[in-house]
Amino acid sequence: MNLHRRMAIAIAAAILPASPLAAQPPAPAAPGAAPCELHLWPAERMRSMSTGLLGGGLIDAAIHAGRDASNRSQMASALDSPSQLDALQSLNLIHELGLPEGTVIIRHETPLERHTINSIKTRRADSTARCYYELQTADVLYMKRAIYGRSLRTLFMLRAFGDDQHIDFEYKAWGGNGLHHFPPGEGEDVTVAINELVDVFKANFQEYARNEREASSRRRH
């Protein structure tokens, strides 16, 4: 069984609800109130950046080009668009982001084009909801550095709109945590590597969400 086939089998077991709390449906909206909407988009691209003792540059990039290409391929298999959204929805997104109870989650399987994420300032979904949020996963980056080891970094952006096309609040930041098993080496357990990659992806979001809640709280006060 080739590596990609084993990875595909492992992904289904990796993306599970983080806790009983995460599995609970959101509370219903207040009677007569239109529900808020949270729209989710996955990342369009995966990146891998490996550096050795040379510390980067064209020569270092050329030395690690083959390995980085393999890493990107494995990441794209483990964290394809549905898997990214499943991983996020296994968490209690409404609680993590501090959104109103009863917010309805709407997932978009097709990633946004990366170069448009910052340039387009209006709503990305055809929605007339008076309370509207967007959570975009912008980048998924694997890094290996000679001194600091392996890590996965993920760039997220939350936008909040009122009842118009104007952004009321925006928070864009990275979450990042270390890796010990991904990418799997020859003969190593692929399932362990995939579980770790998905778990760190979720941990990156939770780190981002904690910082987002603090930024939102400071803005309100």
Q: List pLDDT tens digits, range 47-103.
A: 998 875 555 555 555 655 778 889 999 999 999 999 999 999 999 999 999 999 999
Structural domain contains residue 10: no
Structural domain contains residue 22: no
| 183 cis-preceded (ω within 30 degrees of 0) | yes
Structural domain contains residue 148: yes
Q: Give the side-chain half-sphere CA count within 13 A for 148.
A: 13
Q: 129-163 burial, b for 16+ CB within 10 Å, e for fewer? A: bebbbbbbbbbbbbbbeeeeebbbbbbbbbbbbee
Structural domain contains residue 141: yes
Q: Which domain holds residue 118?
A: 34-220
What is the mean predicted confidence (pLDDT) over 10-24?
42
Structural domain contains residue 16: no
Structural domain contains residue 40: yes
Beta pairing class for 149-161 and 167-179: antiparallel
Alpha helices in the chain (DSSP H): 3-14, 20-23, 57-63, 65-78, 81-89, 93-97, 190-220
What is the mean predicted confidence (pLDDT) over 201-207?
98
Q: Which residue has the higher pLDDT, 221 or 177?
A: 177
Q: Report which residue type is found at 67.
A: R
pTM of the model: 0.80
CA of 69: how far to CAs of 109, 161, 182, in Å?
A: 24, 38, 14
Structural domain contains residue 208: yes
Structural domain contains residue 28: no
Alpha helices in 54-178 (DSSP H): 57-63, 65-78, 81-89, 93-97
- Residue 97's Cα: distance from chain center in Å? 13
Number of structural domains in the chain: 1
155 pLDDT tier (thresholds 50, 70, 90): very high
